Structure 1
Amino acid sequence: MVSVPANMTAIEIKEFGGPENLVPTTRPVPQPSHDEVLIKVAAAGVNRPDVLQRMGGYAPPPGASDLPGLEVAGTVVQVGSGVSKFKVGDSVCALVAGGGYAEYCVAPWAQCLSIPDGYDMIKAAAVPETYFTVWTNVFDRGRLTGGETFLVHGGASGIGTTAIQLAKSFGARVFATASTDDKCREIEKLGAERGINYKTEDYVEVVQELTDGKGVNLILDMVGGDYIQRNISALAVEGRLVYIAFLGGPKAEVNFAPVMLKRLTITGSTLRPQSVQAKADIANSLETKVWPLLNAGTVSPVIDSVFPLEEAAAAHKRIDDSGHIGKIMLEVG
């Protein structure tokens, strides 16, 4: 029997605003329900949705913790009565709807996965949010297949570095945008055929040139704004455009004639509000199709930097500054 304290250190959002509003606090250790496990957190990932929540733009879904943090890795210390797959002492990584910035976190057992071979806890905690997001949007919704062409915006982000590697591994030609030449060279090392500096190049012109004027089959975008019309221009006939965020704004004036003429599909999703069953389905796909790649080292999360849990504000400043390549992580304990 593992001893679990009554209280824990966690990071709460004191008030909406800048990184300085992330402050350590003491909270009761959460209790797992019948289909949940309690994880003693060793590491947690920092993601853009955490930033949006900190700024007051992304409220937790009903029933979720108000603490930020959507992915963790650690050790199972309690299991609910309905849990059969995991037991106390198991090492897991998990996708959660909140509460990851803490010493303990509950997670539905169906959203937990084993630690990939050879991974430490920090590396393991860098997997769930980005791999769940990329798999469901690029391969499920986006229907990317081998031999197709794929453009991902924000190629140096956690999502971008994951999407590049997975798309390349499944046989796609990959292009990606980034904000500096140095970032472009780094994402090319990960498998992008061409990194496109969006500050000095027109990505629409570049992908048209690279595809002999056909355009790309799939675009994964987190920018929106004036990229919406440009993405439509960059797509091939029967192309697909998938949205996962709107860092440049969700509204734009759009000419939909090319959508009809090229028979395009525009779709998108948010992961956090989806049901446990929906996330469980994604977890099952990852376990079957992606975990072998992680175990073999074919794909791997890119770690930019690691901060102690108590320095979550500094970690958020790092992501706000947009100088990172890959994942920003919190080490707990």
Structure 2
Amino acid sequence: MDDRMSYSHGVEQSNEQHFLEQPKVLVLDCPAIFSFHEKKFEKKFHLLKAWESPLPMEEFLKNHARSVKVILSSFKTRITADILNLLPWVELIACESTGVENIDLVECRKRGITVTNAASAFVEDVADMAIGLLLAVLMKIPAADRDVRFKLWPQNMTFPVGHFKLREKQVGIVGLGNIGLQVAKRLEAFGCSISYTSRKEKHNLSSYKYYPKTQELAINCKILIVCCALTDQTHHIINRNVMEALGKDGIVINVGRGPLIDEKELVKFLVEGKIGGAGLDVFEKEPYVPNELVELDNVVLTPHRAGFTEQAFFDDFQLLVGNIESVFSTTNPLMSPVMELV
């Protein structure tokens, strides 16, 4: 064997040894963050990519059960008691998103499994998207863009006119958490009056008016921005009664989760002109979007991408790596545990 072959063989052995020594991390579905940082994850961890395996999921999990301490979870990954039964050594579920509604938190608590999330990584960008959707709906920007792109401008001098000015309007925020607070801060620059509903009244925010019921909030606002977490209590928090209270000029923006809104009722109200418009980044049965919404000029649609910026994904990558490494280190602390489990 000449020197070059010997060197090449040595490198292969070294790479194989490094691969075997890497901490194993189970990934059930391809997470969005892999679009940006998959190679970086692979340099740090031995990724067990279940979605790429030809084996049935249950068999794949059983094969790796004894070696898996960490699951890297995408926002679409459902982690149930049945899955956890197949993975008795799991200590951490590191979720790439802020929302953890697809993870059985009660079961995790019983088993002593820690759950972490994206914390504030996406907060600023989601708040920006909420305002972007609102302005796009109010000013009918996509409809105007279409008129220019399809050469309709010269012929169509009756192009869509905006709903109303945002300045000094009453805006209701459904869920005044991290994202809701950033949305409110941005709305203050427009001179808007901020009202909100949340699990608890924020006594340190006396300049914002609190309403304990979402329907009451809708009665007193022209715009609702939905950014609360999805739970059993918030499922369809925007329902028929809330939409009726909002009225025919009202606008709904959703950057939370699709099932926060009763989508069938929303479609009906929009088609019948019972509310003024909607900006939706999320939907009840993603990626399905009702055809009626697609055809409406007073609706702006984006594909569940609020917060998807390079900076946000880099921040999220650092959080995920820090949380995962804490399992394999005696010195690295958890960076973003979900507080319900602490």
The TM-score, its normalising length taken from structure 1, stands at 0.42
Q: Which has the higher helix share?
A: 2
Q: Which has the higher strand share?
A: 1
The TM-score, its normalising length taken from structure 2, stands at 0.41
